[in-house]
Amino acid sequence: MTNEPQATSVLYKQTLIAGLWRENPVFRLLLGMCPTLAVTAAVKPALTMGLSVIFVLFCSNIVVSLMRNLLKPHLRILMFTLTISTFVTIADLFLKAFQPRMSEILGPYVPLIIVNCIIICRAEACASKNPLLTSIIDAIGMGIGFTLTLCVLAGIREILSTGAVWEIPILPAAFVPWTAMRMPVGAFLTLGLLLGLVNAITKRKA
């Protein structure tokens, strides 16, 4: 009985870390590909997107976890999407008011968070089965994992397409920008190669 609090804290820590690598939503579960590909032309919009997803994931996991005992099985997806779309509306209005430029760049991809599979997947796989605290920790871990992945992808694409990161030039002026990296092609190729790299690293470890 004495080591029970310790056991739960280890569980929490594992839940938190799982989202970063072992169950990374983009690299491992292949979830939420649309925003991953669409908003990663530069780091700034990618980070904005990541933070919005963390906010929505956090709030929706709390609500879903609180109402998990009231859910009827056949209506649960509908309830999830309604909860999520409410919070996405909040995030969208917030961005429009305080970050108008980012809101313009991200355009319809902010409301598209509603159908981001990560959020529905976490609501279904975690929040609707676990108590409040576990769901919150899971949301934070998954959200941070997603944001980091977006930033890595965006960093690679931005540096190759403009020679800058966070709009600060770091490559010498002689560098010829790869315009293709800013286009859809760059997104698909970079993500494909990164996934291959992640697979190779995992294979070597095992």
- Residues near another protein (CB under 8 A) are 30-31, 33-34, 37-38, 77-78, 81-82, 85-86, 88-89, 92-93, 107-108, 111-112, 114-117, 120, 180, 183-189, 191-193, 195-197, 199-200, 203
CB 85 → another protein: shortest distance, Å? 5
> Which amino acid is present at 102?
M
Nearer to another protein, 111 or 155 (CB): 111
Nearer to another protein, 165 or 187 (CB): 187
Q: Is the dihedral of CA 75, 78, 80, 82 positive or negative?
A: negative
SS3 182: helix
CB 63 → another protein: shortest distance, Å? 14
CB 119 → another protein: shortest distance, Å? 9
Reading the block at residue 146, the tokens are 């997603």
In angstroms, the Cα distances linking 53 to 27, 89, 184 are 17, 12, 22
CB 132 → another protein: shortest distance, Å? 24
Nearer to another protein, 118 or 137 (CB): 118
**Among 76, 65, 55, 71, which residue's Cα sits nearest to residue 126?**
65
Q: Both ends of the chain: CA-CA distance in Å?
A: 35
| Inter-residue contact 149 to 141 (CB < 8 Å) | no
> Which amino acid is present at 90?
I
Show the CA angle centred on residue 91, arms to residues 22 and 109, nearest 5°: 70
Nearer to another protein, 153 or 159 (CB): 153
CB 35 → another protein: shortest distance, Å? 8
Nearer to another protein, 73 or 172 (CB): 73
CB 116 → another protein: shortest distance, Å? 8
| Residues constituting the chain | 206
Nearer to another protein, 9 or 179 (CB): 179
